[in-house]
Structure 1
Amino acid sequence: MNNNKLYTKTKISELVGWSEANGRRWVKHFKDYIPTVIDRNRTMYTSESLRIMKFFKRMNEAGFTIPEIKEILNEEGIPKKEKDEQSLIKRHKSEQAHREFDKQIKDTIPSTGEMMIPYLEMIKDGRAYPASEITEKLVGFFNLSEEQRLMKYENNPDIILLSRIRSVRYSLKKENYIEEVNKLTYQITADGLDLLNESRSEIKEEIEELEKVVDPLTVVKEKIDDLNNELADNLLKQLRNVHWIKFEEIVVELLTVMGYGDGKVTQRTNDEGLDGVIKEDKLGLDNIYVQAKRYAANNSVGREVVQSFSGALDGKGARKGVFITTSYFTDGAKKYAERLEAKKIILIDGIELSKLMIAHNVGVDINQTFVVKTIDYDYFKDE
């Protein structure tokens, strides 16, 4: 690849395999991560831009939504090599196997107080460490299992371990035991080294004080989560009351906005049990078929309904399907979809549907926006 080659937004979208509109949307969402240059008064994109865009596409194809990708990047940044990209995707993809909350596992995850001193011990050599590397060191130090490492809170999507490590980092940084020398890169301070040399009783007393330090962003996020949960409930009520034709249009629009391709609602008659189709490429060589059922909250979707959808996919020779409902799926329906081998059917219930609509701004408006600024470390570097 020619590292000096420049691309337009249209061309880079084409090279990644997205439509121009879809490419523009991803550039808009991740403009802080995609490098650009000005050439003859035009914004152009580099080979590194192309690499990063392809990484985003791989993340999306692996099932990550835009908000999820942003959360991962805010924690770990952009991987520098393809091997690192694959490792990151594999690691975060495995979270999907550990989504169910388990209090017994939660209780075995180290607390913020238990991680304070080990955090400092991991970086006491004075070197600057990326946040992700410190996390890996802590995982090894506590010998944590995949379940402990990936367990999420019961009522929000945050990973418990990472949330607690962020709290540790905030407390240590606020009390000047560590410093952020670059974005998400930390180094122990003289005060941090002094703390490690204190007596056991003095360390215990200081840890108790550090545990009282609360990151204001955590408080804000908890309140935002409460607002989003309330919004999701209200949105789901609206979805259950809209006309079934409108509901089909909504789910096709959502999947299109999520970046799965260009979608359309199928003909109202002779649709063979399929409500929509998403063309993943311009020629329609690989299609995702959609079934949308607007049901009441207590009207479950069972195995036989999902099995019928699977049969409709067979009639199209299709390998990918998405079944979306405003109610919920029975365990039998979920197990049936999980056991399919020749095709992949994704089940999205009402709760997940409303949250996806909020995350992708479908059917909702922005009421207020709060901006939290951080230091631009690149600005202070010598040219």
Structure 2
Amino acid sequence: MGIPSYQEIMLPLLKLVGDRQEHYMRDVIEILAKQFDLTPKERQTPLPSGKQLVFDNRVGWARTYMKKAGLLESTRRGYIRITDRGIEVLKQKPTRIDVQFLSQYKEFREFKFGTETGEGIVVDFPKEISETPEEILAATYEELKQELASELLDQIQKTSPEFFERLVVELLVTMGYGGTFKEAAQAVGRTGDSGIDGIINEDRLGLDVIYIQAKRWEGSVGRPELQRFVGALDGRRAHKGVFITTSSFTNEAREYTSNVPKKIVLIDGQMLVDFMIEYNIGVSTTMTYQIKKVEYDYFIEE
């Protein structure tokens, strides 16, 4: 069946609290999860942000929308109760409650549109929207991020080898490796060993070093390239290495590095641009949205 949409949750939620008693939302969520026969995996599926579970979020929005329509009310923090209007709705025995059903109520229309509306108007909302506003926002963010990553990778492919080397150094320093940028820049590129492009300190004190191979690559990087890199590490009696490419690694290459007695980290093009976006290398913020919530503790009176 999958995780129900917030609109599919509305009627079961209203029926669940139809006894006019207070209900703790945490208990309501768990009961609804059992009613919808969610699997453990579905129950623990997080939003893209990772800060809330999808089902919890959808139950929360079902509650919010029905509160705005006057079918539910909050009695105290974390508790809800059905209203007289909600009881009347249940008496009608509706087969479904969704945003279109709720649009018959003036309070809900004003909540959705932010302006006063006339009585008796029913707005034609799409019925099959399953995502909550937070899910839609998160999905849009991920789409924009993927578009940015693709454009970023395209720009990297057009740079010179020297520029790419500086980019890698700046990224690693920003991530906390190599000490200062000046120190790292002096370290990278100082070796002439085949298969090694540079050496950088693992920490500010230089207690250990990491050997780097950074290549702009057209096709997938295969096992032979990784074998040469590991061989170069053997020649330096090194135990840690990072192989960075703008393309990808074959399954054989990944399997090989997972079985060698050295710590080899593989960074492909997608991971590279993800790190660049995370650490603001070659990108800038054009707009910021802050999602806020009520701080209920603020309103507790002693």
* TM bucket normalised to smaller: 0.5 to 0.7
Cross-structure match for 1:11? none
Residues in 2 aligned to 1:338 and 1:236: alpha-carbon distance in whole angstroms:
26
How far has the Cα of 1:358 moved from its partner? 1.4
Cross-structure match for 1:252? 169
Cross-structure match for 1:191? 82
SS across alignment from 1:242:
coil
SS across alignment from 1:289:
strand
Matched, 1:235 2:126: no
Report if aligned partners of 2:24, 2:80 keep a CA contact under 8 Å in 1.
Answer: no
How far has the Cα of 1:268 moved from its partner? 4.2
Q: Match of 1:239, as an amino acid?
A: I
Residues in 1 aligned to 2:33 and 2:189: alpha-carbon distance in whole angstroms:
55
SS across alignment from 1:206:
coil
How far has the Cα of 1:259 moved from its partner? 3.9
Distance 1:110 1:272, change over 3 A: same
Cross-structure match for 1:27? none
Distance 1:217 1:118, change over 3 A: closer
Report if aligned partners of 2:243, 2:265 keep a CA contact under 8 Å in 1.
Answer: yes
Matched, 1:282 2:204: yes
Tell me, which stretches of 5 or more residues in structure 2 are unaligned? 103-127
Coordinate RMSD, CA, aligned = 4.4
Cross-structure match for 1:111? 4
Report if aligned partners of 2:220, 2:248 keep a CA contact under 8 Å in 1.
Answer: yes
How far has the Cα of 1:235 moved from its partner? 0.8
Residues in 2 aligned to 1:292 and 1:201: alpha-carbon distance in whole angstroms:
68
How far has the Cα of 1:238 moved from its partner? 0.9
Q: Deviations over 1:343-368 (max 9, x none)?
A: 33222221222222112211012222
Cross-structure match for 1:46? none
**TM-score, length-scaled by structure 2:** 0.65
1:83-232 to structure 2, matched below 5 A, reads 109-112=2-5, 117=12, 126-127=23-24, 129=26, 138=33, 142=37, 144-145=39-40, 162-176=53-67, 177=72, 187-191=78-82, 202=93, 204-206=95-97, 212=129, 215-232=132-149
Residues in 2 aligned to 1:228 and 1:111: alpha-carbon distance in whole angstroms:
27
Residues in 2 aligned to 1:136 and 1:277: alpha-carbon distance in whole angstroms:
56
SS across alignment from 2:189:
coil
Residues in 2 aligned to 1:292 and 1:129: alpha-carbon distance in whole angstroms:
50
Q: Deviations over 1:73-100 (max 9, x none)?
A: xxxxxxxxxxxxxxxxxxxxxxxxxxxx
Matched, 1:357 2:259: no
Distance 1:311 1:136, change over 3 A: farther
Count of matched residue positions in the alignment of Structure 1 and Structure 2: 261
Distance 1:275 1:382, change over 3 A: farther
Tell me, which stretches of 5 or more residues in structure 1 are unaligned? 1-107
How far has the Cα of 1:326 moved from its partner? 0.8
Report if aligned partners of 1:135, 1:165 keep a CA contact under 8 Å in 2.
Answer: no
How far has the Cα of 1:302 moved from its partner? 0.4
Cross-structure match for 1:291? 213
Cross-structure match for 2:115? none
Q: Match of 2:227, as an amino acid?
A: Q
Q: Deviations over 1:146-196 (max 9, x none)?
A: 5x567799xxx667x9335423322222322586977xxxx240029x979
Report if aligned partners of 2:189, 2:199 keep a CA contact under 8 Å in 1.
Answer: no
Q: Match of 2:273, as an amino acid?
A: S
Distance 1:171 1:294, change over 3 A: same
Residues in 2 aligned to 1:322 and 1:136: alpha-carbon distance in whole angstroms:
48
How far has the Cα of 1:294 moved from its partner? 0.8
Report if aligned partners of 1:173, 1:180 keep a CA contact under 8 Å in 2.
Answer: no
Report if aligned partners of 2:177, 2:203 keep a CA contact under 8 Å in 1.
Answer: no
Distance 1:203 1:110, change over 3 A: farther
Q: Deviations over 1:219-250 (max 9, x none)?
A: 33333333222221111111111111221221
Q: Match of 2:158, as an amino acid?
A: N
Q: Specify which structure has the higher proportion of helix.
A: 1
Matched, 1:369 2:260: no
SS across alignment from 2:243:
strand
Distance 1:202 1:276, change over 3 A: farther
Cross-structure match for 1:311? 231
Distance 1:379 1:260, change over 3 A: farther
Cross-structure match for 2:252? 332
Q: Match of 1:171, as an amino acid?
A: A
Report if aligned partners of 2:246, 2:272 keep a CA contact under 8 Å in 1.
Answer: yes
Distance 1:137 1:215, change over 3 A: closer
SS across alignment from 1:174:
helix
Distance 1:120 1:112, change over 3 A: farther
Residues in 1 aligned to 2:57 and 2:95: alpha-carbon distance in whole angstroms:
20
Residues in 2 aligned to 1:335 and 1:136: alpha-carbon distance in whole angstroms:
44
**TM-score, length-scaled by structure 1:** 0.53
Report if aligned partners of 1:329, 1:349 keep a CA contact under 8 Å in 2.
Answer: yes
Whose radius of gyration is greater, 1 or 2? 2
